[in-house]
């Protein structure tokens, strides 16, 4: 006859068996979910040994089932930038969540082919043992999206090249007729020619913008960054706007703060000129009363150039997309006459400035209270020191 001890022992054994079955069921369910997920997922422990490796990632890398488990991360996963620079994933594991980055558009090296992926990191803490926490790494395959983008960029580049030559020829012939080298013109003919010439110039400018974007995104745009004086360059760039501001009866002035004509910057002169022309051109275009001030400020950290206007300003909801591709303050621009534009100018400014080691920004007192577009470039003296 069983005693109380035997009964208790049997109950404990049954409970352990029951819990093990539940755990096994949960584990199988988790494995099924992991097997069917479309993203590549793996985990490593504090020694960077792989503890989890899902089916999607095995397929991407052409690995046999479970062959990655127990190996070190750098024996299995090879990640590079598009330029071929190796990325060590270990440096991104087990860091505070608020500092944990996402790696965008990097290349996962596979056996048969490579993949473009976004890489996300998260730490799984163990409630019982903090030292046994693991880093979960998710790789999202974005190869199809990247290849579509590249095909689009190639098409834009080819189309832009094909458009530029005939447009330049059209502009040349329009100029010849405008200059009256082919005979006198009446007022109506002059007006029509002016519209055609300005529209052609706008189209050429748009094609140039598209070509610049294409070169930048394909990494084919070179920068010649070196020290040089910027104040004289800015003065020279403002002069061609004199006639336009006189016609609009607005002012255009240069304001120097803590600097003079000898101020040295570290920059690409050609790209810097495009940034100034773009920002000042926009400011003059969208200012009906008051005027435009170009402020150059020599700060301890850098040189800050601000283009300040008294124009229509930008609606608050449109500010976040100002420096994005095709980003325009549509609502604000509709408040005044149609002005054209592709929405690429500010995006190009951002790319140029950041490539020169600077930053861009925008502020405004509010709707119809003007705008301040600013960017920074390195001060050569500070950089040299």
Please report, in tens digits, the pLDDT of each residue of the chain (385 residues total).
555 555 666 666 666 666 766 666 665 555 555 556 678 889 899 999 998 888 889 888 988 877 898 999 999 999 999 888 999 999 989 888 777 778 989 999 988 899 999 999 988 887 767 677 889 899 999 999 888 878 877 777 777 778 878 888 888 888 888 888 778 888 888 888 888 887 887 788 778 777 777 777 666 677 888 889 999 999 999 988 888 899 899 999 999 999 888 888 989 998 999 899 989 988 998 899 999 999 999 988 899 999 999 988 887 778 888 887 766 555 444 444 445 555 678 888 998 999 899 999 998 876 667 899 999 999 865 444 4
CA-CA distance, 246 to 235, in Å (whole number)? 17
How far is residue 163's CA from residue 168's CA, in Å, rounded to a whole number? 9
**Phi, psi at residue 127, to the nearest 5°?**
-70, -35
Cα–Cα dist 88/78, whole Å: 8
Q: Which tokens hold the place of 99? A: 């500092």
DSSP 146-192: HHHHHHHHHHHHHHHHHHHHHHHHHHHHHHHHHTTTT----HHHHHH
Q: Is 334 helix (H, G, I), strand (E, B) or coil?
A: coil
What was the pLDDT predicted at 257?
Answer: 93
How far is the C-alpha of 331 from the C-alpha of 203, rounded, in Å? 23
Q: Which tokens is 117 given? A: 């992926």
Q: What is the pLDDT of residue 316?
A: 77
Q: How far apart are CA 40 and CA 53, in angstroms?
A: 8
111: tokens are 């056996």
Q: Any idea how long the chain is?
A: 385
pLDDT, residue 335, reads 45
- 128 contact partners, CB below 8 Å, separation of at least 6: none
Write the CB contacts of 382 (distance below 8 Å, at least 6 apart in sequence).
300, 301, 302
How would DSSP label each residue in 179-211? TTTT----HHHHHHHHHHHHHHHHHHHHHHHHH
Backbone angles phi, psi at 92, to 5 degrees: -100, -5
| Residue 313: both structure tokens together | 């300003």
Contact 108, 139 (CB under 8 A): yes
Q: What is the pLDDT of residue 130?
A: 67
CA 174 – CA 185 distance, rounded (Å)? 13
Q: Rounded distance, CA 297 to CA 343, Å?
A: 27
Token reading at 55:
């089916």
Q: Cα 308 to the chain's mean position, in Å?
A: 24
Please give the model's pTM, rounded to 2 decimal places.
0.55
Would you state the pLDDT for residue 166? 86
Say which residue the tokens 């994933």 belong to: 89
The pLDDT, as a whole number, for residue 184 is 87
| Alpha helices, DSSP H, located in 218-340 | 231-238, 242-248, 269-285, 330-333
So what's the pLDDT on residue 23? 61
Crossing angle for the helix pair 345-355 and 187-217, nearest 10 degrees? 40
């Amino acid at each position: 006859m069983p005693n109380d001890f035997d009964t208790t022992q049997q109950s404990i054994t049954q409970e352990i068996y029951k819990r093990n079955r539940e755990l096994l069921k949960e584990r199988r369910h988790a494995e099924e979910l992991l097997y069917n997920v479309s993203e590549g997922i793996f985990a490593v422990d504090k020694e960077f040994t792989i503890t989890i490796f899902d089916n999607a990632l095995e397929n991407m890398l052409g690995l046999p089932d479970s062959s990655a488990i127990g190996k070190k991360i750098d024996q299995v996963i090879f990640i590079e930038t598009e330029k071929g620079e190796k990325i060590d994933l270990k440096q991104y594991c087990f860091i505070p969540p608020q500092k944990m980055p996402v790696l965008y558009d990097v290349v996962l090296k596979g056996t048969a082919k490579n993949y473009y992926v976004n890489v996300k990191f998260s730490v799984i803490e163990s409630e019982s043992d903090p030292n046994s926490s693991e880093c979960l790494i998710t790789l999202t395959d974005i190869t199809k999206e990247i290849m579509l983008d590249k095909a689009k960029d190639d098409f834009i580049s080819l189309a832009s090249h094909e458009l530029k030559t005939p447009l330049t020829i059209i502009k040349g012939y329009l100029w010849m007729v405008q200059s009256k080298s082919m005979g006198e013109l009446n007022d109506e003919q002059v007006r029509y020619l002016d519209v055609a010439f300005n529209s052609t110039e706008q189209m050429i400018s748009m094609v140039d913008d598209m070509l610049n974007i294409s070169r930048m995104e394909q990494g084919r745009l070179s920068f010649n960054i070196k020290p040089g004086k910027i104040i004289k360059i800015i003065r020279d760039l403002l002069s061609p706007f004199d006639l336009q501001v006189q016609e609009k009866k607005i002012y255009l002035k240069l304001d120097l703060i803590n600097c003079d004509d000898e101020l040295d910057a570290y920059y690409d002169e050609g790209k810097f000129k495009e940034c100034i022309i773009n920002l000042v051109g926009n400011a003059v275009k969208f200012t009906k009363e008051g005027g435009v001030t170009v402020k150059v400020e020599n700060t301890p950290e850098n040189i800050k150039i601000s283009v300040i206007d008294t124009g229509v300003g930008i609606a608050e909801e449109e500010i976040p997309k100002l420096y994005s591709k095709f980003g325009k303050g549509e609502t604000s621009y509709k408040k005044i006459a149609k002005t054209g534009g592709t929405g690429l100018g500010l995006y190009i400014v951002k790319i140029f400035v950041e490539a020169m080691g600077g930053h861009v920004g925008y502020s405004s007192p509010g709707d119809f209270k003007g705008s301040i577009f600013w960017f920074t470039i390195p001060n050569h003296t500070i950089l040299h020191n």
